Structure 1
């Protein structure tokens, strides 16, 4: 019975996302026609994410370790257990001068295609040439002051409950090369609301708890420190997940 309700909720959530996107599509399309309008596209995406989730009882609770100065440019690195993580970051990032870097398949999905053909950057990790071009594009955008959200696991873990995967080096090398701070973000329980795309376990109403760690400065680092920076961010997120799991199992 529980799974029936979760599956029914998933259908409601998918309908909410698709229906609200269809209503907003003329505006999204208009804003996507010129790069100067991308900031409005991101602002509208924030509203869309809040509304499409809220209509089915999914909300987001952000705890910030240190206030974020959004006048600066960052590479934001969250762990990834749910499609809701994308919505969470769309809502959290308070600058409209931003973009996502994500898998190439997102350029073909109904509600993400327009974004990943314009404001966001798709990456085909199966092709070294395509990956190089994508990272070059991201480097150019970061150099222009565009904050970028990159999920360093590159994919959602296929285990349930999800376990934190190893991180890719790309975002950490870019941060060091451009001397930009990295913001680790721990998505604590989005997988309990909706794991992956929800097809296996459905979804339910609830509050997604997101912990935003203080920025890590990279101005003093060299490219030889990229692996150490990667491991530091991984350890920060891993420890926060372990603390959350300990509290949850001891309630």
Structure 2
């Protein structure tokens, strides 16, 4: 019975997501035309993400270690196990931002128009594609746009999730561009929707998100990239561990 409920709820969520996205698509398409209107497209993304989540019973609870200055540019680094992680970042970000993600998202009904216009697709199996994608991310940062990167580079097959090793790219990029890293721990989205929900279904609930204090990179060199990567990894790992102990 529980499995049936989760399967029905996944379908229910997908219907709401499709309904709100389709309703807003003409406006999104208009804003995607040249020149692309970043703020308006991200605003539309916030609206359909918020409404589809709300109507499906997904609520997001953000805890901040420090009040954020959204006039600054960040590289947001978060752990990743669920499509709800994307919604969490969309609801978190308060200024122009772009996602850095796998090129398969170009073919997705919802994400396709964004990855063909403002977001950055990458073929993770191609070094040339990765190089070009990071050059685009560099351009976005120089233009004052926040870049969202999931540094694990993948969603693990391990269930329950285990935090995967981080890639170096986001941390070298932050140091080279002199922007702050914003670590974000997504505590329990996997328990409400693992990956895309197909294997385990979904269920309504509260998604707990911890937004950590930004880490300044102004005094760092590229030689410090590994140390910065390890620091962010430890922050997220320890928060996940603390959260699991608290709810047990």
TM tier, smaller: over 0.9
TM-score normalized with structure 2 length: 0.99
| CA displacement at 1:35 relative to structure 2 | 3.9
Contact 1:121 1:137 in 2 (8 A): yes
Aligned partners of 1:65 and 1:212 also within 8 Å: yes
Q: Report the TM-score, using the length of structure 1 for normalisation.
A: 0.97
Partners of 2:150 and 2:195 lie apart in 1 by: 14
CA drift at 1:18: 1.1
Alignment of 1:119-138 (within 5 A): 119-138=118-137
Q: Which runs of 5+ in 1 are unaligned?
A: none
**Distance (Å, rounded) in 1 between the aligned partners of 2:38 and 2:242:** 38
Equivalent runs, 1:171-186 vs 2, <5 Å: 171-186=170-185
What number of residue pairs does the alignment pair up? Answer: 248
Residue equivalent to 2:3 = 3
* Contact 1:106 1:116 (C-alpha < 8 Å) held by counterparts: yes
Shift in Å, 1:36: 4.5
- How far did 1:225 drift? 0.3
Q: What is the CA deviation profile of residues 176-229 of structure 1, one whole-angstrom value per residue up to 9, with x for unaligned ones?
A: 001110000000000111010000110001110000000000000000000110
Cα deviation 1:93-150 (Å, max 9, x = unaligned):
011x111100010011111100000010001111111111111000011011110110
SS for the counterpart of 2:86 is helix
Corresponding residue for residue 139 of structure 2:
140
| Equivalent-residue separation in structure 2 for 1:242 and 1:67 (angstroms) | 23
Unaligned runs of 5+ in 2: none
Contact 1:35 1:119 in 2 (8 A): no
Across the aligned residues of Structure 1 and Structure 2, the Cα RMSD in angstroms comes to: 0.7
Where 1:11 maps in the other structure, the secondary structure is: helix
CA positional deviation for 1:239: 0.1
Show the counterpart of 1:13: 13
Give the ranges of 4+ consecutive aligned residues of structure 1 lying more than 2 Å apart after TM superposition: none
Cα distance in structure 1, aligned partners of 2:237 and 2:226: 16
Distance 1:129 1:40 in 2: 31
Please name the residue that 2:50 is paired with.
Answer: 50
The offset of 1:34, in angstroms, is: 2.7
Q: Which runs of structure 2 are paired with 1:63-102 in the superposition (5 Å)?
A: 63-95=63-95, 97-102=96-101
Distance in 1 of aligned mates of 2:46 and 2:195: 20
